[in-house]
Amino acid sequence: MLAAYLDRVAMPRPRALDAEPLDAEALRGLHRAHLLAVPFENLSIHLGEPISLDEAGLIGKIVGRRRGGFCYELNGAFASLLERLGARVSRVAARVYGDGSALGPPFDHLALVVRLPDGTGPWLADVGFGSHSTYPLLAEARDEQADPGGRFRLAGTADGDVDVIKDGRPQYRIEMRERALTDFAPTCWWQQTSPQSHFTRSDVCSRLTEDGRISISGGKLIRTVAGQRTEETLPDDEAVLAAYRDHFGIELTRVPRPAAGQNRVS
Query: Tens of pLDDT along 230-265?
Result: 999 999 999 999 999 999 999 999 999 886 434 333
Residues spanned by the domain of 234: 186-248
Please report whether residue 215 resides in a domain: yes
- pLDDT > 90 fraction of the chain, expressed in percent and rounded: 83
Is residue 130 assigned to a domain?
no
> Does 243 map to a domain?
yes
* One-letter amino acid for residue 203 of the chain: D
Residue with more model confidence, 47 or 100: 47
**228 domain-assigned:** yes
**Of the candidates 59, 61, 39, the residue with the CA atom closest to the CA atom of residue 50:** 61
pLDDT at 266: 29
DSSP H/E element including 43: helix 43-47
Domains identified in the chain, total number: 1
User: Which among 246, 247, 244, 265 is positioned nearest to 47, based on CA atoms?
Assistant: 244
Q: Check pLDDT > 90 for residue 112.
A: yes
As a whole number, mean pLDDT of residues 67-96 equals: 96
Asked if residue 14 is part of any domain, the answer here is: no
- The reported pLDDT for the residue numbered 119 is 87
Instruction: Output 99 or 38, whichever has higher pLDDT.
Output: 38
User: Under a CB-based contact definition with an 8 Å cutoff, are residues 72 and 96 in contact?
Assistant: no
Please compute the mean of the pLDDT values over residues 114-143 and round it to a whole number: 95
The answer to whether position 230 is within a domain reads yes
**CA of 19: how far to CAs of 13, 16, 194, in Å?**
12, 6, 48
In a domain, 120, yes or no: no
Q: Which amino acid is at 85?
A: L
Q: Is residue 20 assigned to a domain?
A: no
